[in-house]
Structure 1
């Protein structure tokens, strides 16, 4: 069957809440000629990410590149391998990097997307489409935070804040697969899930501020790294870290981004910027602070695929919505209560 020339796609037209920004188009064009090293993927399922709705709300049209198809994670089937390592019919998963999304206007909330082959990996038969759809972006963020940003090694000890977030759940699994000791935080309702993923110790962050708990219950030995998967705007976990983070340890965060539009959230974000910029000799924190920034890396993506094939990494799906109900999926994601990925089924025939 020939590839259609048009498709259904959720397109961001203006800045604002997803309900204001997005429109489901039925006549969005499917890319024609492919550039070298690109593949055309028929998307079966996509996953929503916080960066998606945050960019909708924050970036003006000229910075966001609108109109463009939104979202990044996907699982699907190769439609055109374009003389790459892939061939038509290969089951795959991957992601469209934010920069590629803005440049090409290709996104994963569509029936087809052009993706660099380096951002695509074969989907092992051990995982289904829905679970595979949400792995690439959050999984790579976790993998690169652990090994490239924090430089962790087997046998070391890591604290993962936001253990029930998508990045946190993958970070727990990846760290355990590499022989690390994992302490993770979440609310009590997600304790079972966090422990199921492999956490050796659980901390309920709702009982008292994490920096106070860790200071009064210092780990032995101290953590070799802290992975803040929640993206805290409050700098306290970092500013008090010498009490529980080893001298050469690294604090890696997916933030700091305000989680609401309140003055206190923006003030906390400002305090974090000040804390990370102040040199040690002026009272700054004597620990490294790094912002996780996911990069397209074929070797890292293949490493995730291998962990999946070995049964050491699995997707965690919070909920699944049909493509027509993507806005309901965003509402779920924006509650900050989703444990795992919110998945949008693009192809209704896929189980």
Structure 2
């Protein structure tokens, strides 16, 4: 059967909340030209990410190159190819990097997406499309936090804050697969999930500010790295880190952005900027601070794929929505109550 020329897609047309920014189209064009080293993927499922709705609300149209389909993560089947190792019909999963969308104007809340092959890998038979759809963006963010930013090795210890987030759950699994001890923190209601995922120790951050708990219960040995998978705006976990993080350790965060526009949140932002830039020889924090910036890296993707194929990393799905219920899916992810990925089923949706 030939590839259609138009498709169903959720299009980001303007800056704002998803309910105002998104518009459903049934006649969005399917890419007809496949550049070299690209594949056209027929999307089976797409997963939402915080970066999706945050960019919707913060990035003006001229920067975001709108209109274009929303979102970045996917699982699907190769429909067409040009100069890649993939064959038509291969089941795959991957993501479209946010910077790549600026050039290609592609997104994954659509029936088809054009993707460079550095962002795609074959889907192993031990995982279905729903669970595979949310692997890549959060999984690679966790991978690069642990190894490219923190340079962790087997036998070391990492503290993961926000362990029940998608990035946190992947970080636990990846670290354990590489022989790294994991101490994890989340709310008490998620303790069972976090421990089941592989955490060696669990701390409920709701009982006491986490930096105060760690200062009064310092680990032995101290943590070799801290991964903030939540994106704390309050820098206290970093500013007190010399008490519980080893000399030469690295504090890695995903997005230390304000969670609102209050004076308190703006104050946190200024404190974070000061803490991460003030040199230690002038009284600054004597531990490194790094903001993970996701890169499209084929070697990282294939290493991550190996862990998935071996069953050492699995996708944790919070909920699944039909394509017509995308706005409800955004309500779920924006509630900050999702544990795992919020997934939208594309293929077979009416």
Superposed CA offset, 1:98-122 (max 9, x none): 0011221100111000000010000
Partner in structure 1 of residue 272 of structure 2: 272
Kept in 1: contact 2:43–2:77 (CA 8 A) = yes
Cα distance between partner residues in 1 of 2:344 and 2:6 = 20
Alignment size in residue pairs: 350
> Is residue 16 from structure 1 mapped to residue 16 from structure 2 by the alignment?
yes
Q: Distance in 2 between matches of 1:338 and 1:47?
A: 12
Aligned to 2:224: 224
How far 1:262 sits from its partner (Å)? 2.8
CA drift at 1:279: 1.2
Q: Name the SS for the 2:82 alignment partner.
A: coil
Preserved contact between residue 68 and residue 102 of structure 1 (Cα < 8 Å): no
Question: Structure 2 length normalisation: TM-score?
Answer: 0.98
What is the RMSD of the two structures over their aligned residues, measured on CA atoms? Answer: 1.1
CA displacement 1:40-94 (0-9 Å, x = unmatched)? 0000000000000000101111111111111000000000122310011000000
Query: What is the distance in 2 between the residues matched to 1:120 and 1:143?
Result: 16
Q: Distance in 2 between matches of 1:269 and 1:348?
A: 44
1:199 equivalent in structure 2: 199
**Matching of residues 304-323 of structure 1 within 5 Å:** 304-323=304-323
Length-normalised TM-score, structure 1? 0.98
State the secondary structure of the residue aligned to 1:40: strand
Larger mean CA deviation between 49-58 and 81-90 belongs to: 81-90
Report what 1:85 is aligned to. Answer: 85
1:259 and 1:9 map into 2 onto residues whose CA distance is 29
Contact between 1:145 and 1:227, CA under 8 Å: does it hold in 2? yes
What is the aligned partner in structure 1 of residue 75 from structure 2? 75
Match of 2:242 in 1: 242
1:349 positional shift: 7.0
1:267 shift after superposition: 2.0
Q: What residue is the counterpart of 2:105 in the other structure?
A: 105
The answer for the alignment partner of 1:289 in structure 2 is: 289
Counterpart-to-counterpart distance in 2, 1:321 and 1:349 = 9
Q: Which residue of the partner structure matches residue 165 of structure 2?
A: 165
Runs ≥4 residues deviating over 6 A = none
- Once the two structures are superposed, what CA deviation does each residue of 1:305-333 show, in whole Å capped at 9, x if it has no partner? 11111110000000000111011000000
Unaligned runs of 5+ residues in structure 2 are: none
Distance 1:282 1:47 in 2: 44
Q: Deviations over 1:243-280 (max 9, x none)?
A: 00111100000011122333322221221011111111
- CA displacement at 1:302 relative to structure 2: 1.1
| Structure 1 residues not aligned, in runs of 5+ | none
**What is the CA–CA distance in structure 2 between the aligned matches of 1:331 and 1:265, rounded to whole Å?**
23
Listed as ranges, the matches of 1:34-183 within 5 Å are: 34-183=34-183
Partners of 1:112 and 1:180 lie apart in 2 by 39
Separation in 2, partners of 1:211, 1:290: 18
Following superposition of structure 1 onto structure 2, how do residues 18-33 of structure 1 map, counting pairs within 5 Å? 18-33=18-33
